[in-house]
Structure formats: C-alpha cells, structure tokens
Amino acid sequence: MKSEESDYPYTAKQFNALTEEQRQAVLAVAEYLTSSATEITDEGLSLALNLLRPSEGCCVPFEEIDTNVLVAVRRKFAAVYITAMELAERELKAKGFKEREHFNFCLTIEPSHEDTTHVTVVDWDKPICYLHEWSKPWHFCFESLAKLAEAVLSAKANLVNRVVELNKKEVYVVLQDGRVREVAGLPRGKEVVVVDYNIEDLKKTN
C-alpha cells in the first residue's frame, strides 16, 4: 500500500526545502507548462510538472501525449531550457549586459522519441553557440523538485558564464616614456601588474 506522500512525485515538503533561487526556477518551469500560477500543494505541484516526472517505459507520461509524441518531447525539454534561458537573460541584464549588443539567445530543439534529443542555444546575430546539451527523453526526467531546479540553474549558469567569457573587455595600458600613465577598461576589483623586461636604461645608469 502506498503512503500518502508517495502518491505525488512532487510535494510541498520538497518545495519548502529548496532555496529561494531554486523555488523561483521550479515555479518558472511550472508557469511555462501551465501558463498560470501553481498552487504549492502536493497535488498542485505534481499536476503542473507532470510532464517532467519519471515515466517507466515511455519517453513522456502517456497522458501528456496529444497527437504527436515529438511535440510532447520538445515541450518537455523546452520547459527546462526556455526557463534557464529567461533566467540567464535576467541575470545578464542585471550585470549590465545588453540584449542584441552582447547576446541574443535562440533556442533550438531537435526532438526524438527513439534516440537522443539535442538542445542548442545559439545567437540570432552572430555565429556563436552558447550551449549544446543532449539526452535521451526517457532519461530526461526528475525524481524531485531539487533535481529539476538543479538542471535549470545549471543550464542558466552555463549560459551566463559563456556570455561573460565572450564579452570580456579589452584593457588598455597607456605608456609614456616607459611609464604607465593610464589603464582604461579595467573591471572593478581587478588589478594590472606591469612587468618591464627592458633593463637597458638600468644598465646605462650603473
């Protein structure tokens, strides 16, 4: 006989044990899937996130398949990666990065119900791939809310780190008569160490 707690894959107890960042990630996924606010109850969470639960012998829960299983597979992956992409955009803008100038995300999903589904995030305007991940759809499921949040936040962090890496600012060191006169473009909290290997003048003075 199942216990009352095991009737639902996702529970309020799991949700309350998450950090605030993890909770927001889970709620964003649920909102993507339902287009509405989710009630923080065992039933509410489990219904909203049903597509992402483990489903033995099938790439998605049978009840989530309408007319085309590939549509359900794509929606399953999109729930995680669109959420990660939106959270990454929000964090990047808070860091001062501008959409279109520093990044312009485009999500592509190549769904398969028989083999691996590939997910990429590229740039609309530049020949850049920010993210490429893949998984068989029957493995792409989450036994707990913590696992779901981890997947979303990991993808978000990878996107943010990639954009930051690709948009590193150049630092200009202005020299005059062998001395540093100005350092332009140096990020806050960073230091510049100038090592001068030219010892010709030093020899002349000895």
Could you tell me if 51 and 137 lie in one domain? yes
Cα R_g (the chain), whole angstroms: 24
Could you tell me if 132 and 197 lie in one domain? no
Could you tell me if 132 and 201 lie in one domain? no
Rounded to whole angstroms, the Cα distance separating 123 from 106 reads 6
pLDDT single digits (tens) 85-109: 999 999 999 999 999 999 999 999 9
Could you tell me if 104 and 18 lie in one domain? yes
Predicted confidence (pLDDT) at residue 182 exceeds the cutoff of 90 = no
Could you tell me if 11 and 92 lie in one domain? yes
The pTM (predicted TM-score) of the whole model is 0.80
Could you tell me if 39 and 94 lie in one domain? yes
Residue 146: what are its φ and ψ, rounded to 5°? Answer: -65, -40
Helices (H) and strands (E) in the chain, counts: 6, 5
Total count of domains within the chain: 2
pLDDT value at residue 196? 63
If pLDDT is split at 50, 70 and 90, which confidence band does 195 have? low
Could you tell me if 44 and 68 lie in one domain? yes
Rounded to whole angstroms, the Cα distance separating 34 from 105 reads 23
Percentage of the chain lying above the pLDDT 70 cut: 83
Could you tell me if 34 and 107 lie in one domain? yes
